[in-house]
A and B are shown apart, each in its own frame.
Chain A
Amino acid sequence: MSSRFFRKPSVHFWLLGCLLFAFDRWYNVPEDIRVIEYPDDAQVSELRQQWMMTTGRAPSAADTAQMVQYELDQRILLNEALRFNLHFYDTVVQQRLLRDMRFMGDTEGQTDAQLLEQAYAMELHVNDTVAKRRLMQAMESIYRAPGENQVPAEAELKAVYDGRIKEFTLPETRKISHVFVSRDRHREKAEGQARELYERFSRDEVALEKARLSTDPFLSGLDFSHLSVRQLSRHFGDTFSREVFNCKEKPWCGPIESPYGWHLVWVHEQKPAKPQTFEAVQQKLVYYVKREKGDKALNDRMTELRDIYQVSGGPEQESEKQ
C-alpha cells in the first residue's frame, strides 16, 4: 500500500475508531460508579463484640473477614434499595420515619407527607437502624424473587429427592424382647446373674418363651416393636440403645446394661432404614427447590454487584496510602 493511502483522512478516522473501540472493550469503564465505604475500626470492633456476645469466643481472622464481607454486602443491598427508591414506597420504612419524626419534636399540624419529606431531607432513612434493615431485607426479597417464583418441574423435584434421600429416610428399627435382671432387686449380684443367664441361654439354646420365666418384672414391658435407636433410648437410655443396634450376636445379645439393671436382648427383626415416598415429601421438596433457587438468584446478583461496587477505605487502600 502506498503512503498516500495512510494519509487519507478516512483511514485516520477508521484507525482512531478502532483504537477507541479497543480501549473501551479492554478498560470497560462503567456508566455509573458505585461506591461503598469499608467499615471503620470502630464498626469492625462492634462486629467482633457482637460475635463474642453470641458465640462466647473471640472471632478468628477468618470469622472477622466473613463478618466484614457480610457487612459490605448489607451496604450494597442498602445502596441498591436507595437507587430503586424503595424508601419512598415501603410502608414499614415510612411508618418508622414518621415515628422518628414525632419522637424528635413537635409535629402537631403537620401531615404525614410533610413529615416524610422532612425525614428524607434529613436522611433518616439511612440513619435509622430499623429502616435500614427493612430496606436491605426488601432488596434481598427482590433479588430472590426470580428464583423463588419459578414453579419447579417434577424432574427437578425428583433430582432433589434423590440428592436428599438421606434426609427423607426413616431410620432403621429393631423389634426386640428382653429378659431383665433388676439392679434394685439383686444389687451387686445383678451383673453376675445376668451373665449366668446369658451363658445358659446361649449354651442350651433357650427359646424366648422359656427364657421369660427368668425375668424380673419391667414396667415398660418386655416387648418393643420396631423402634429406632432414638425411640429405644427413651426407654433404656442412649448407651443401651447403641449397644442393641450394634449387636451382631444371635439370638441373644448381652448382657447389656441400662440405668435399671442388666438385660438379655432377643432381636426378632431388623428393619433397614427406608426412604419415604416421593409423594409423601413432595411439598417439602417444592420448598427446598424454591429456597435454593432463591438463594442462587440472590448470590448471583450479589456476585455481579460486588464486581460493580468499589469499596473505599479498606485495609488494602490504607496500606497503599502508607
Chain B
Amino acid sequence: MSFNYTINNAWLSVVLLGVVLLLRSLVAQAEDPESALSGGDFERTEQREACDEYAPLKRAYFGDTHVHTALSQDASTQGTRIRPDGAYRFAKGERVDIQPFDDRGNALRSQQISRPLDFAAITDHAELYGEVRICNTPELEGYNNWVCKVYRHFPRVAFYMMNARAGFIDSRWGYCGKDGEHCERQAAVVWQELQEATEQAYDRSSACNFTSFNAYEWTGLHGPSGKGNMHRNVIFRNDQVPETAISALDGRRPDQLWSALEEQCLDAGSGCDALVIPHNSNLSGGQMLRTKDFDGDPIDETLARQRARLEPIIEVMQHKGSSECFFGAYDFIEEDELCAFEFLQQANMGNPTEGAPGPSNGYLREGLRDGLRVQERLGINPFKFGFVASTDTHLGIPGAVEEDRFQGGGGNGKSARYEVPPGLPDRPEYNPGGLAVVWAEENSRDALFTGMRNKETYGTSGPRIELRFFGGWDFESTICESSDLVAQAYQRGVPMGGDLPESSDEQSNAPRFVVAALRDVNGGEPLQKVQVIKGWVDGNGESRESVVDVATIDGHDIEVDPRDCQTSGNGPGSVCTVWKDPNFDPAQNSYYYTRVMENPSCRWSQRQCLANGVDCTKPETITDGLEACCAIDHRPVIQERAWSSPIWYRARP
C-alpha cells in the first residue's frame, strides 16, 4: 500500500512539474512573444557584457569571412604588410597603407571603406604559417635556406613553388626540420598571434560594435577524383580553439579536416565549436561538390552526415567569381542570362590546363540538386548549403567591395609589390568580392555563429541590401501590408536556410514565399528586380529549374551610360511580395532561393577605364594595362545583387 502510494505520488509530482513548466513557458511567451516567433534564442558560450541592442526578430549584420594578411604566403609575396591587427582596424573603418612601398617604407597607396563592417574573420593559409615566419625572421634557423632566399628575392617564383609543394607533395621543405617540427613550432607562434589580434579586435562591451572570429583557410587540392580547388575557411565560435590550425599538411582531404575538427574541437568537450565555409566551387573542376567520396565510391551516410554537420554555408561569390550558376543552356536547363555575372572562363584552379568550365564544374544550383539526389538515396543531404559572399582579399583589407575604389585583390590577381600596376589594378576577370550577411539577435560571436550554423545568412555582391526570405504554406497575400510582417513570417513559416514545415494539406496546397528587400541606404542603387529560383530533380533524375520574376519594377527608364557611368531612372527603395509556386509537385524534393538585383551600374573596370581616359574609338588612348577595356569580353556594366540562402522542401515518403 505505502509502495503504491509512493509511486502514485511520484507520478503526480512529475505531472505537476510538467504543468508548472508549461505554465512558465506560456507566461514567458506572453511577456516576450517575439522571442518565441523569431526562430529561437542562441546558446551563450562566452563571457561578455550584454549587448545594448538586442533584436528578437534579428538584424542583418554585414561582414567578411575571407581575408588574407601578410601571414599568408601568397599575400606576403605580393608585398602585403598588413598583419591581422591592421586588417581588423581597417574593418572598423580606419584608413590603412597598402603596397607598393618605397625604399623608405612609405606606402604609395592607402585604402578606407566608407562604412565599417559589423564582423570579420582573418583566414590566412594555415599550411605555410611556419614556413613564411621562418623566411621573414633572420634569428630563426632556416632563414638562410635556399627556399627562403627564393621567397625573399624571387617572390613570384616562390608563390608558385611553395604553393605547389604545399598543395601537391606530401612532405615539407627540408628547412622545416625533422617531421616538420621547426615549421610547426613557428606555425604555433603565428596561430597565437592571430588569436591575440582577434581577441583585441572583438568588442566585448555593451556597444557590440564589432565581432572578430578566430579563423583560417585550409588550402587543399585533393578532390574525390582528381585535383581541384578544395579550399575552405574554418571559423571558430569563440576563443576555444585547437592548439594548432589543422591544415592540409595534416590531412590533404576535406574529410580528414572534418574528422580532425570533430576530434579536436566539436566533440572535444572543451567548449570549442567550428564550421567550415567552402569557396570557389566554380574553380574546382567539379571536385568540390562531387557525390563520390575520396576513394571514388558514392558518398555514404556517414560522410554525408559529417559534411552536413561541418559545412552549413558556402561562398556564392567572391573576388574569383560567382559560383551561383553555369552561364549557358544544358540538358533541360535554359540559359539564365543573369548567370553571366562575374562568371569566370576557368574550370579548375588546381589544374589550369582544364580549359573552360562546363555545367558540372561545381556551380551551386547543380550542387544543391545533387544534394537532393543524395538525400533521395541516403536520407541525408550533404550539399544543403546556405549562402554567403566575401572578398578573399590578399591586401589585408576586409570588406573593400566598393566598385568605385577597388585597388585590386592580390592573390591570384595582379601583384602590386614593386609598383602600382599600370592600367587596371587587377586582372579584368576578377572583381572586388562581396559581403557575408547574417541575421542575428545581436552582434556577438554566439549570435552570429548561430545564424551561420542555421544558414540564416545571405550574400551580396557588395551593397548592403537588406533581404528577408520566408517560406510557408499559408502566408496571406496581404502580409506585405502588415507592420508586423517579420513577426508573422517567423510565426507562420521558416526563414532562409530553413526547411518548409510539413503541411497537412500538401496535396492541394503549394508553398508560398515572402521576399522583402531594402535598398542599401548609403550609396546603393534602387532595386530593379526580384526573382525566385527553384531547383529540383524530376522523376527521371534530370536537373530542372525555374527562374521567376516575382516582382517587376515597372515604369522606370533605368539605365547606366558606360561612357560616363551616370545612372538614370528611378526605382523603389523597398520591395515586398508573396509568391506561390504554381507548379508545385508534393512528390518532388526541391529548393527555393531568391535573388534581388539593383539597377545597373558601372563595373569597377569600366570606372577605371574611364578614369584613365580610355576611348575605344581612339586607339592612342588604350595605353599599357588598359587593353582589357576594349576587349570583346569586357563587361562594363553589372547589376549588383543579393542571394538568399535556400529554403528546402522535402517530400513526404
CA distance A221 to B100 in the complex (A): 45
A69 at the interface (CB under 8 A from B): no
Contact B104 A170 (CB under 8 A): no
Does B115 sit at the interface, judged by CB under 8 A? yes
- Could you tell me if A221 and B517 are in contact, using CB atoms closer than 8 angstroms? no
Asked if A276 lies at the interface with its beta carbon under 8 angstroms from chain B, I say yes
Cβ distance B117 to chain A, nearest Cβ, rounded Å: 11
CA distance A236 to B59 in the complex (A): 13
Complex contact A260–B573 (CB within 8 A): yes
Whether the pair A92, B138 counts as a contact (CB closer than 8 A) is: yes
Interface residue ranges of B465-490 to A (CB < 8 Å): 466, 468, 480-483, 485-486
State the CA gap A100–B359 with chains docked (Å).
53
A-B contacts, 13 listed (Cβ < 8 Å) = A91-B139, A95-B144, A184-B572, A212-B483, A219-B517, A219-B518, A219-B576, A227-B53, A237-B521, A259-B573, A260-B518, A260-B573, A261-B573
Please give 10 more A-B residue pairs, beta carbons under 8 A apart, in addition to A234-B521, A280-B205: A50-B102, A91-B139, A184-B573, A215-B483, A217-B482, A220-B59, A221-B55, A231-B53, A260-B521, A261-B573
Query: Which one of B138, B144, B466, B572 has the greatest number of beta carbons of chain A within 10 Å?
Result: B138
User: Does A237 contact B54, Cβ atoms closer than 8 Å?
Assistant: no
Q: Are B144 and A219 in contact (CB under 8 A)?
A: no
Residues of A within 8 A of B572 (CB): 184
- Known A-B contacts A182-B574, A260-B573; the reply to A219 vs B519 at CB < 8 A is no
Q: How many residues of B contact A (CB 8 A)?
A: 43
A260 touches B574 (CB 8 A): yes
Interface-forming stretch among B105-113, B322-330, B343-351?
B105-113
Indicate if the CB atoms of B468 and A219 lie closer than 8 Å.
yes
Cα distance A54–B106 in the bound complex, in angstroms: 8
Tell whether B197 is near chain A: CB-to-CB under 8 Å. no
**A137 nearest CB across to chain B (Å):** 9
Please name the 5 residue pairs, one residue from A and one from B, whose CB atoms are nearest each other, closest first: A226-B52, A91-B138, A184-B572, A260-B573, A129-B103
B494 at the interface (CB under 8 A from A): no
A227 to B53, CA, bound (A): 7
Q: Shortest CB–CB separation between residue B204 and chain A, in angstroms?
A: 8
Rounded to whole Å, the gap between the CB of B337 and the closest CB of chain A is 27
Assembled-state Cα–Cα distance A95/B466 (Å): 54
CB distance from A277 to the nearest CB of B (A): 9
Q: Is A258 an interface residue (CB 8 A)?
A: yes
The residue on A at minimum CB distance from B442 is A225
Q: A291 at the A/B interface (Cβ < 8 Å)? A: no
CB-CB contacts below 8 Å: B51-70 with A: 52-55, 57, 59
A249 at the interface (CB under 8 A from B): no
A222 to B138, CA, bound (A): 59
Q: Mark A139-158, 1 if CB is under 8 A from B, else 0.
A: 00000000000000000000
A216 to B480, CA, bound (A): 9
A225 touches B522 (CB 8 A): no
> Closest residue of chain B to A236, judged by CB?
B521
Cβ of B128 under 8 Å from chain A: no
Interface assignment of B516: CB less than 8 Å from any CB of chain A: yes
Residues of A within 8 A of B621 (CB): none
Chain B residues near A217: list those with CB within 8 A: 480-483, 485, 576
Asked if B573 and A183 make an inter-chain contact with CB atoms under 8 angstroms apart, the answer reads yes
> Contact between B576 and A54 (Cβ–Cβ < 8 Å)?
no
Chain B residue nearest in CB terms to A225:
B53
Pick from A94, A235, A261 the residue with the most CB of B within 10 Å.
A235
* Contact assessment for A219 and B486 in the assembled complex, using a CB-CB cutoff below 8 Å: yes
A33 CA to B205 CA, complexed, in Å: 56
Asked if A54 and B108 make an inter-chain contact with CB atoms under 8 angstroms apart, the answer reads: yes
B483 touches A170 (CB 8 A): no
CB distance from A114 to the nearest CB of B (A): 16
User: Per a CB cutoff under 8 Å, which of B55, B57, B207 touches A171?
Assistant: B207
Report if A12 contacts B (CB, 8 A): no
Bound-state CA distance A302–B560 (Å) is: 58
CB <8 Å contact, B483 and A222: yes
- A268 within 8 A of partner (CB): no
B 97-132 contacts with A by CB, 8 A: 102-108, 115
A173 touches B (CB below 8 Å): yes
Nearest B residue to A112 via CB reads B144
Query: A225 to B483, Cβ gap below 8 A?
Result: no
Q: Which residues of B contact A129 (CB under 8 A)?
A: 103-104
Chain A residues with CB below 8 A from B521, complex form = 234-237, 258-260
- Tell me whether A199 is interfacial, beta carbon within 8 Å: no
State how many angstroms separate the Cβ of A283 from the closest Cβ of chain B: 8
The minimal Cβ–Cβ distance linking B368 to chain A, given in whole angstroms, is 26
- Cβ–Cβ < 8 Å partners of A280 in chain B: 204-205
Query: Which residues does chain B contribute within 8 Å of A171, judged by CB atoms?
Result: 207
B143 interfacial contact with A, CB 8 Å? yes
Indicate if A64 sits at the interface (CB-CB under 8 A): no
Residue of B nearest to A231 (CB): B53
Contact residues of B between 35 and 76, Cβ < 8 Å to A: 52-55, 57, 59
Q: A95 and B574 in contact (CB under 8 A), knowing A237-B521, A276-B205? A: no
Name the one of A53, A130, A170 contacting B206, with C-beta atoms under 8 angstroms.
A170
Q: Is B377 at the interface (CB under 8 A from chain A)?
A: no
Q: Chain B nearest CB: distance from A28 CB in Å?
A: 35
In the complex, what residues of A have CB within 8 A of residue B574's CB? 182, 184, 218-219, 260
The reply on B634 being an interface residue by CB < 8 A is no
Q: How far is the CA of A234 from the CA of B60 in the complex (A)?
A: 10
Residue A133 interfacial (CB < 8 Å)? yes
Q: Measured between alpha carbons, how far is A215 from B102 in the docked complex, in Å?
A: 58
The reply to whether A50 and B104 form a contact with Cβ atoms under 8 Å apart is yes
Chain A positions within 8 Å of B207 at CB level: 170-171, 228
Whether A99 contacts B153 in the complex (CB less than 8 A), given A54-B106, A217-B482, comes out as yes
Tell me which residues across on chain B come within 8 A of A193, comparing CB atoms.
Answer: none
Residues from chain A with a CB closer than 8 A to the CB of B573 are 183-184, 259-261
CA distance A182 to B59 in the complex (A): 20
Closest Cβ of chain A to B478, distance in Å, is 10
In the complex, A234 Cα to B305 Cα: how many Å? 39
> Does B52 contact A50, Cβ atoms closer than 8 Å?
no
When chains A and B are docked, how far (Å) is the Cα of A233 from the Cα of B105? 37
The CA-CA distance from A259 to B525 in the complex, in Å, is: 11
**Is A238 part of the binding interface, using a Cβ–Cβ cutoff of 8 Å?**
yes
Min CB–CB distance A293 → chain B (angstroms): 21
Per the 8 Å Cβ criterion, residues 339-393 of B in contact with A are none
- Among candidates B106, B516, B517, B519, residue contacting A259 with C-beta atoms closer than 8 Å: B519
Q: Please report which residues of chain B, range 433-448, place their CB below 8 angstroms from some CB of chain A when the two chains form the complex.
A: none
Contact string against B for A residues 170-184, beta-carbon threshold 8 Å, 1 for contact and 0 otherwise: 110100000000111
Instruction: Choose one: A94, A95, A225, A271; the contact of B55 (CB below 8 Å).
Output: A225
* Segment 208-262 of A: residues with Cβ below 8 Å from B: 212, 215-222, 224-228, 230-231, 233-238, 258-261
Please indicate the chain B residues that have their CB under 8 angstroms from the CB of A170 in the complex: 205-207
Contacts of B204 in A (CB 8 A): 280
In the complex, what distance in Å separates the CA atom of A94 from the CA atom of B483?
Answer: 71
Interchain CA distance A261-B52 in the complex, whole Å: 27
Chain A residue numbers with a CB within 8 Å of B54 are 225
With A170-B207, A219-B518, A261-B573 as given contacts, are A234 and B115 in contact (CB-CB < 8 Å)? yes
Docked pose: A95 CA to B145 CA in angstroms: 12
Chain A nearest CB from B465 CB (Å) reads 11
Complex CA gap A271/B53 in Å reads 12
Give chain B nearest CB distance to A239 CB in angstroms: 10
Cα distance A231–B53 when bound, in Å? 10
- Bound-state Cα–Cα, A151 to B62, Å: 40
The CA of A153 and the CA of B115, in the complex, are separated in Å by: 38
Contacts of B57 in A (CB 8 A): 221
Please indicate the chain B residues that have their CB under 8 angstroms from the CB of A260 in the complex. 518, 521, 573-574
Within the assembled complex, what's the spacing in Å between the Cα atoms of A167 and B103? 35
Question: B108 near A133 (CB under 8 angstroms)?
Answer: no
Residue numbers in B under 8 Å from A222 (CB-CB): 483
Q: Which residues of chain B are within 8 angstroms of A225 by Cβ–Cβ distance? A: 52-55
Closest to B571 in A: A184
Beta-carbon contact of B52 and A219 below 8 Å: no
Shortest Cβ distance from A225 into chain B, in angstroms?
5
Chain B proximity mask over A72-102: 1 for CB below 8 Å, otherwise 0: 0000000000000000000110110001000
